[in-house]
Amino acid sequence: MQQTPPRQLRIVHCFRSPVGGIFRHVRDLTEAQVAAGHQVGIICDSTTGGEHEERLFEAIRPMLALGIRRTSMQRHIGPGDIAAGWRTYKIIKELRPDVLHGHGAKGGAYARAFGSLLRVSRYCVARLYSPHGGTLHYDERTMTGKLFFGLERLMERFTDHLLFVSDYERRTFIRKVGEPRVPNSLVYNGLRDAEFEPVAAQPDAADFLYIGMMRDLKGPDMFIDAVKAARQELDKDVTAVMVGDGEDLPRYHAQVERLELDGKIRFLAPMPARQAFALARFVVVPSRAEAMPYIVLETLAAAKPIVATAVGGIPEILGARSPALVNPDAGEISLKMIEAFRSPAAYAAAMPDTAELKARFGVDVMAREVEKAYFSALPKKRA
């Protein structure tokens, strides 16, 4: 029997881009929080995403008592933030949340700044921030990095609780920003029970799959180079599928054409991960930087063998000594792809145990720990 929460909360999630891991994280939290009896709403950018993301919005829209509010938010800091910020503040003020949870750099800045403005107006709201990598990917030695990390330190004054999705993210925050001066928690991303079911490859499946955002940070260019190198080394008709969209997609099309891989690497529009998993025998995650990528969790939960770069929180999922880990280098990625291609059964046997993954990375665990942080962050007279 479902327990009634200590009190019903009005929760608003604020983030910029409704694509990738942040959007997945917010959707999972939203569903769990609604099931727990809370009223939930979403505020995000209106210019990002395509048909796939619109379908995802439509799937969750009926359950959101506080609705989905979309307004233009630019990616980088600029004059446009003044108008975007004012629009976002008016939406937040109208929704009157008990909890304002910012995700990513832009969402975190808006949630904490505007939550603090509500506090000035004597309205009590808990201000939480999940970096999801965000500004933590910047080099602390550059002027840009120093600026952003200085702003992060300043924004801590307007933060009631920090939520990290990996120990790597927490350690990076400490190294680049400083030891947190506010309460903080490590809460891993979580998957639903149904996602821990195997996905078999189709009879005509390709050999390797890349699925994710089409931007250099995620390494699509290294994936293409690795496929080319694997084909040359194996002297076989190695094939691949790339699923996703993004501003750099035309450049990857040109790279495939330049390397004479037309017909050997297919590009497909964004689709659910488990649908994409059936398109190939192995999954490759060639990221240059990550926090705690859902795609690695989803791949392993679906019992798909993976090649992944040892960046961010990925080793926390696979294990620091996993043979599936490589450096973010096209040559190393290619060698690991060749190993998997030549000995598929032995390679698959080296993947983590599914039952252990489920115990650590279940959505119920994630939702419970996040809710605990919410109640601890509420101003005392509201808690």
320 & 279 share domain:
yes
The number of domains in the chain is: 2
200 & 183 share domain:
no
Q: Calculate what percentage of the chain has a pLDDT beyond 70.
A: 98
213 & 104 share domain:
no
What does the pLDDT read at residue 134? 80
83 & 128 share domain:
yes
Taking 70 as the threshold, does the pLDDT of residue 5 lie above it?
no
Taking 50 as the threshold, does the pLDDT of residue 383 lie above it?
no
Inter-residue long-range contacts of 58-67, CB under 8 Å, 24+ positions, other chains counted = 60/27, 60/30, 60/31, 63/30, 63/31, 63/34, 64/30, 64/34, 64/40, 65/34, 65/39, 65/40, 65/41, 66/10, 66/11, 66/12, 66/39, 66/40, 66/41, 66/42, 66/95, 66/97, 67/41, 67/42
Taking 50 as the threshold, does the pLDDT of residue 1 lie above it?
no
211 & 141 share domain:
no
CATH number of the domain encompassing residue 152: 3.40.50.2000
What does the pLDDT read at residue 381? 57
21 & 98 share domain:
yes
Q: Which residues span the domain enclosing 210?
A: 194-360
pLDDT tens for 177-221 read 999 999 999 999 999 999 999 999 999 999 999 999 999 999 999
Q: Is 382 within the bounds of a domain?
A: no
| pTM for this predicted structure | 0.85
Four-residue CA torsion sign, 258, 259, 262, 265: negative
